[in-house]
Amino acid sequence: MTPRTHALPPVTDTHRSALLDRARSGATWDIIIIGGGATGLGAAVDAAARGYRTLLLEELDFAKGTSSRATKLAHGGVRYLAQGDVSLVVNALRERGRMFRNAPHLAHPLPLVLPAYAWWSQLLYGPGLLAYSILAGKLGVGMARIIDKAEALRLAPTLSPNGLRGGVVYWDGQFDDTRYAITLARTFHDLGGVALNYARVDGLIKENGKIVGVRVRDVETGVAFESRAKVVINATGVWVDDIRRMDEPDAAKMVAPSQGIHLVLDKSFLPGEHAIMIPKTDDGRVLFALPWRGSVIVGTTDAPVKTIDHDPLALESELEFIFAHMKRYLSKAPARSDVKSVFAGLRPLVKSGGGQTKSLSRDHTIVIAPSGLVTITGGKWTTYRHMGEDVVNKASAAAGLDARPSITEDMPLRGATKQALPFPLDVYGTDGDRVAALCTERPEWNALIHPNLPYKMGEVVWGARFEMGRTVEDALARRTRALLLDARASVEAAPAVAAVLATELGRDAAWVKAQVAEYTTLAERYMLR
């Protein structure tokens, strides 16, 4: 079979009933992927682009977990360069450039200021950041340069001027993680694949010791079915060990989860277009303050955790850590009352015999079990495409599929355009005009979901019709980013959003009431008291 071309049709049918019918058709897939985060979606797009018949199954919603809780940086990893992991940095920088090229509506260059408060800081960090810029090669976006105190305060006016000597400006990238994931899912469908959210894998099907498929339960209806494949890929992030133990009950743990949190603040805490990077904090990590979607994101932390939660809570120690460092480096330090949202995510770090989580591998790992189960974990958002290519290479070879080269290096994702639409429609790319037109079909759809949020009700409708949004949480946390931009405002918007979704999805008043209650409980985890 010839791999598909890059051309994407205008609209692909993503009605849940149609997707379920295809998943339950009884035909054998080439590849089944478990997990709808960055890694699973990246693998799905790569596989479908090669012409492999591919099914992706996600227990909850796409990017529900780690993949929606990132720092929103498309980056090469300055810290990894300091650790001497040059190959990891070079690969990440190249993938960063491909994100800019293949999805310019979702990823773009971002200038950052590294402030220098010690006389030696510019001498220490300047050459390293210049090398970082050079390593990007043809896919680079700008060269690092040393700046004086006046320019540092001009670019980042809320930096504390006390003791500031100057700084270093360098370039990285920024993106909207969840909108990128939704775009990958839509691209995958455009390429002929089937992605199902709220489809839980309850077990693996084995014949003669080899995995030949999965047992699936539709979370919405409770209906169970089986789907068969020539190879199954486990891309479930911090939950990969749960799937591995469906295959081998005694399998040793691969993942040591680490938690990181971020605070979302008003734009006044970082006006302008430049971000701030604190190169070394009290625990040895870097800390960022970033302009993002009209707000400011500050993070992150690195705390090992023993339990895995779909919606982890920020630890008080993590909050104190960020507040202390913001007070140290900003002239306008935030208080708890300034926090519009706080979100926590879990990193699936690959175990390597112990040590602090900051020292565990940030690169991805692929393991193929004797049963043929292919597991991939680790890595980071920026390298999602490379991880997808790598795991499909290994999975297709292990299953004896026809060898087909990856074509995703220069494949535009759905909506790709350099013509910027106004915020917040910019993330839709070439679909933005369709979204805007839908908003004008009814007066109530053209209204904001809340006075303090930038989204119109028509975007909620679009998310339900074309982006597989099924719940109020889907609409407010991921199809829009209302939960992250202002958690309290999103709760106030929830009843009206639930009513519109009920009409779109054919739900009743009891569903509306339950959805509002569930979302309110969730959103409270994003609020500081």
Tens place of pLDDT per residue across the chain (529 aa): 333 334 434 556 678 999 999 999 998 999 999 999 999 999 999 999 999 999 999 999 999 999 999 999 999 888 777 777 788 899 999 999 999 999 999 999 999 999 999 999 999 999 999 999 999 998 999 999 999 999 999 999 999 999 999 999 999 999 999 999 999 999 999 999 999 999 999 999 999 999 999 999 999 999 999 999 999 999 999 999 999 999 999 999 999 899 999 999 999 999 999 999 998 887 778 899 999 999 999 999 998 898 899 999 999 999 999 999 999 999 988 999 999 999 999 999 887 644 343 434 457 999 999 999 999 999 999 999 999 999 999 999 999 999 999 999 999 999 999 998 899 999 999 999 999 999 999 999 999 999 999 999 999 999 999 999 999 999 999 999 999 999 999 999 999 999 999 999 999 999 999 999 999 999 999 999 8
Structure tokens at 44: 């799905």
* CATH 3.30.9.10 domain extents, the chain: 101-173+256-350
- As a whole number of angstroms, the distance between CA 37 and CA 237 comes to 8
CATH code for residues 101-173+256-350: 3.30.9.10
- Cα 222 to Cα 199, 217, 219, 489, 518, distances in angstroms: 9, 6, 5, 33, 19
pLDDT at position 12, please? Answer: 64
pLDDT at position 77, please? Answer: 84
* CATH 3.50.50.60 domain extents, the chain: 16-66+179-254+360-399
CB half-sphere exposure, 468, CA atoms < 13 A: 32
pLDDT at position 420, please? Answer: 83
The H-assigned helical ranges of 84-220 are 86-102, 121-135, 149-155, 177-190
Query: Three-class SS of residue 175?
Result: strand
Handedness of CA 127, 280, 71, 161 (dihedral sign): negative
pLDDT at position 93, please? Answer: 95
Q: Which of 72, 77, 75, 111 is nearest to 96 (CA)?
A: 75
pLDDT at position 10, please? Answer: 52
Residues ≥6 apart with Cβ < 8 Å to 47: 30, 31, 33, 54, 193, 388, 392, 396
Biggest CA–CA distance in the chain, Å, is: 71
Query: Three-class SS of residue 308?
Result: coil
- Cα 407 to Cα 2, 35, 45, 412, distances in angstroms: 12, 22, 10, 10
Residues ≥6 apart with Cβ < 8 Å to 450: 482, 486, 489, 490, 492, 493
- Do residues 450 and 482 touch, judged by C-beta distance below 8 A? yes
Which CATH number, 3.30.590.10, 3.40.50.2000, 3.40.190.170, 3.50.50.60, labels domain 16-66+179-254+360-399? 3.50.50.60
- As a whole number of angstroms, the distance between CA 57 and CA 527 comes to 31
Q: Which of 107, 1, 149, 45 is nearest to 388 (CA)?
A: 45
- As a whole number of angstroms, the distance between CA 256 and CA 368 comes to 19
- Cα 25 to Cα 9, 55, 193, 200, distances in angstroms: 23, 12, 13, 17
Residues ≥6 apart with Cβ < 8 Å to 111: 142, 155, 169, 170, 171, 273, 274, 275
CB half-sphere exposure, 190, CA atoms < 13 A: 22
The H-assigned helical ranges of 330-422 are 384-399
pLDDT at position 236, please? Answer: 98
Rg of the chain over Cα atoms, rounded to whole angstroms, equals 23
pLDDT at position 352, please? Answer: 60
- As a whole number of angstroms, the distance between CA 273 and CA 300 comes to 20
Q: Which of 107, 83, 85 is nearest to 97 (CA)?
A: 107
* φ, ψ at 154 (rounded to 5°): -70, -40
Structure tokens at 97: 């450039």
* CATH 1.10.8.870 domain extents, the chain: 425-524
Which CATH number, 3.90.870.10, 3.40.640.10, 1.10.8.870, 2.50.20.10, labels domain 425-524? 1.10.8.870
- SS3 labels along 182-217: HHHHHHHHHCCCEEECCEEEEEEEEECCEEEEEEEE
pLDDT at position 171, please? Answer: 97
